[in-house]
């Protein structure tokens, strides 16, 4: 008999949801985490009463009522609706692309006028789009592509829009209504008190050790538990035996300002090529803060190198086929379950991570 039923490697959302389900089924759980705090990329740092999203802005949104209710059981969401604005050389446009954007861009007032304008501009692409530039122009025309997409995208991905796959831009909604809500999902909000409230509630009842890297202490921790849930990078689990997967990283520059309201909205995207950062987040607006001071974060895209946080998987063909080789090995592991965005090398929103963790936990726990 080992000391714990489950060892969970990583205290991010996947690990925390799994831990909650296991503890609720009467299992004993040890969570180990290499950072000095729990929560993974959801972690918030409280600065002068403001919950600062330390690893980038996180807005919870979902179409799945069961996931919404699960989330709200542990941390109640406020009514935050993401309505970012774009700043192109001082000109301000609403996002996502909608009638407010088209009105500001061309002075058009009705949906029909906007459609006519976009149709004129997209006529130059008369074949199936072969790259992101062609996809964007065929979706919204040349003006919006030039002012709101090209610079932002090239900064974000570190390559020219003609060298990027078309699918990246298919995520962006285009609307012929005056609706600045960024997401189409039915439910949306920010947990009142920040994401740490959620993570703390999910981890209640589990033992936690911080500052421990599983891959450097494997024998010790394997000996402590019957079964293992691993949420770190899959290539590091296998000591990079087939090669390294690629990621995009980010650098965050956070400053406290002695003013009440810096930009009037939580998220401003800087869409020109020259400004080196992609966006500025003013954290207090996620929770309608009224503090006398404010905290802002500039977000700079960066090529990932060892030692940096791996934020976005680069899901191109070469990386996907490398990932599949690791996934084949993972499928054969007798007592380790792999889950979450690093172990599955997948761009996962929070709601999808919760769905996946609940699914895997229910399959796992049903038989035990």
Instruction: Determine which residue in the list 340, 345, 355, 364 makes contact with ligand FAD, applying CB under 6 A.
Output: 340
Q: Considering the complex, what minimum distance in angstroms separates the CB of residue 232 from ligand UDP?
A: 21
Does 238 engage in binding with ligand FAD (CB under 6 A)?
no
347: annotated active-site residue: yes
Does 232 engage in binding with ligand FAD (CB under 6 A)?
yes
Does 42 engage in binding with ligand FAD (CB under 6 A)?
yes
Q: Residue 317 corresponds to which tokens in the numbers above? A: 């063909």
Token pair 């009105």 is at which residue?
A: 103
Q: Considering the complex, what minimum distance in angstroms separates the CB of residue 68 from ligand FAD?
A: 12
**Residues paired with 268 in a beta bridge:** 85, 280
272: annotated active-site residue: no
Closest-by-Cβ residue to ligand FAD is: 12
Within 13 Å of residue 200, how many CA atoms lie on the same side as its CB?
8
305: annotated active-site residue: no
Q: Provide CB contacts within 8 A for 346, sequence distance 6+.
A: 313, 315
Q: Quick one: 127 or 171, whose CB is closer to ligand UDP?
A: 171
| Partner that binds at residue 165, options ligand FAD, ligand UDP, none, CB closer than 5 to 8 Å by kind | none
Q: Provide CB contacts within 8 A for 134, sequence distance 6+.
A: 125, 166
Does 77 engage in binding with ligand FAD (CB under 6 A)?
no
Instruction: Determine which residue in the list 7, 29, 32, 86 makes contact with ligand UDP, applying CB under 6 A.
Output: 86
| Partner that binds at residue 342, options ligand UDP, ligand FAD, none, CB closer than 5 to 8 Å by kind | ligand FAD
Q: How many CB atoms lie within 10 A of CB 156?
A: 18
Question: Can you tell me the distance from the alpha carbon of 367 to that of 145, in angstroms, rounded to the nearest whole number?
Answer: 52
Q: Quick one: 63 or 110, whose CB is closer to ligand FAD?
A: 63
User: Strands 187-189 and 60-62, how do they pair?
Assistant: antiparallel
Q: Quick one: 206 or 231, whose CB is closer to ligand FAD?
A: 231
CA dist 74 → 27, 30, 111, 340 (Å): 19, 20, 42, 20
Q: Quick one: 47 or 172, whose CB is closer to ligand UDP?
A: 172
Q: Which of residues 130-149 bind ligand UDP (CB under 6 A)?
A: 148-149
| Partner that binds at residue 340, options ligand UDP, ligand FAD, none, CB closer than 5 to 8 Å by kind | ligand FAD
Q: Considering the complex, what minimum distance in angstroms separates the CB of residue 273 from ligand UDP?
A: 12
Question: Can you tell me the distance from the alpha carbon of 134 to that of 155, in angstroms, rounded to the nearest whole number?
Answer: 18
Question: Can you tell me the distance from the alpha carbon of 273 to that of 156, in angstroms, rounded to the nearest whole number?
Answer: 10
Does 349 engage in binding with ligand FAD (CB under 6 A)?
yes
Q: Which of residues 253-282 bind ligand UDP (CB under 6 A)?
A: 269, 271
Question: Can you tell me the distance from the alpha carbon of 311 to that of 304, in angstroms, rounded to the nearest whole number?
Answer: 8
Question: Can you tell me the distance from the alpha carbon of 51 to that of 191, in angstroms, rounded to the nearest whole number?
Answer: 10
Size, binding site for ligand UDP by CB under 6 A: 13
Instruction: Determine which residue in the list 68, 152, 247, 304 makes contact with ligand UDP, applying CB under 6 A.
Output: 152
SS3 content of the chain, % helix, strand, coil (to 5): 40, 20, 40
Q: Residue 80 corresponds to which tokens in the numbers above? A: 């935050």
349: annotated active-site residue: yes
- Among 73-81, 105-113, 239-247, 343-351, which window interacts with ligand FAD (CB under 6 A)? 343-351
Contacts 24+ apart (CB under 8 A), 324-333: 325/242, 326/234, 326/235, 326/237, 326/238, 326/242, 326/245, 327/234, 329/238, 330/234, 330/237
Q: Considering the complex, what minimum distance in angstroms separates the CB of residue 350 from ligand FAD?
A: 3
The dihedral formed by the CA atoms of 80, 57, 72 and 179, expressed in degrees to the nearest 10 = 30
- List contacts with ligand UDP (CB under 6 A): 86, 95, 148-149, 152-153, 156, 168-169, 171-172, 269, 271
Q: Which residues are catalytic?
A: 171, 175, 248, 279, 299, 347, 349
- List contacts with ligand FAD (CB under 6 A): 9-15, 32-35, 40-42, 56-60, 213-215, 231-232, 250, 311, 340-342, 348-351, 353
């Amino acid at each position: 008999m080992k000391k714990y039923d489950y060892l969970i490697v990583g205290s991010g959302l996947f690990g925390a949801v799994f831990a909650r389900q296991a503890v609720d089924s009467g299992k004993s759980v040890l969570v180990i985490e290499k950072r000095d705090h729990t929560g993974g990329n959801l972690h918030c740092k409280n600065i002068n009463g403001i919950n600062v999203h330390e690893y980038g802005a996180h807005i919870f949104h979902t179409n799945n009522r069961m996931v919404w209710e699960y989330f709200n059981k542990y941390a109640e969401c406020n009514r935050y609706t993401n309505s970012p604005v774009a700043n192109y050389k001082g000109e301000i446009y609403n996002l996502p692309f909608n009638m407010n954007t088209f009105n500001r861009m061309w002075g058009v007032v009705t949906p029909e006028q906007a459609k006519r304008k976009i149709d004129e501009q997209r006529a130059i692409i008369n074949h199936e789009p072969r790259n992101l530039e062609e996809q964007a122009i065929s979706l919204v025309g040349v003006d919006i592509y030039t002012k709101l997409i090209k610079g932002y995208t090239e900064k974000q991905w570190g390559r020219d829009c003609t060298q990027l796959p078309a699918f990246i831009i298919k995520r962006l909604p285009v609307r012929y209504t005056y609706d600045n809500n960024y997401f189409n999902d039915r439910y949306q909000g920010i947990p009142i008190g920040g994401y740490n409230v959620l993570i703390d509630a999910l981890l209640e009842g589990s033992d936690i050790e911080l500052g421990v890297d599983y891959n450097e202490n494997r024998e010790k921790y394997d000996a402590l538990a019957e079964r293992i849930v691993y949420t770190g990078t899959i290539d590091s689990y296998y000591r990079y035996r087939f090669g390294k997967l690629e990621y995009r990283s980010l650098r965050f520059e956070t400053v406290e300002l002695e003013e009440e309201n810096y930009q009037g909205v939580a998220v401003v995207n800087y869409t020109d090529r020259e400004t080196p950062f992609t966006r500025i987040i003013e954290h207090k607006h996620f929770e309608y803060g009224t503090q006398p001071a404010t905290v802002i974060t500039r977000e700079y895209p960066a090529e990932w190198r060892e030692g940096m946080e791996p934020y976005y998987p680069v899901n191109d063909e070469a990386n996907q086929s490398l990932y599949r080789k690791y996934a084949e090995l993972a499928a054969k592991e007798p007592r380790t379950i792999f889950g979450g965005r690093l172990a599955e090398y997948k761009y996962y929103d929070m709601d999808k991570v919760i769905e996946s963790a609940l699914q895997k936990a229910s399959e796992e726990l049903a038989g035990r």
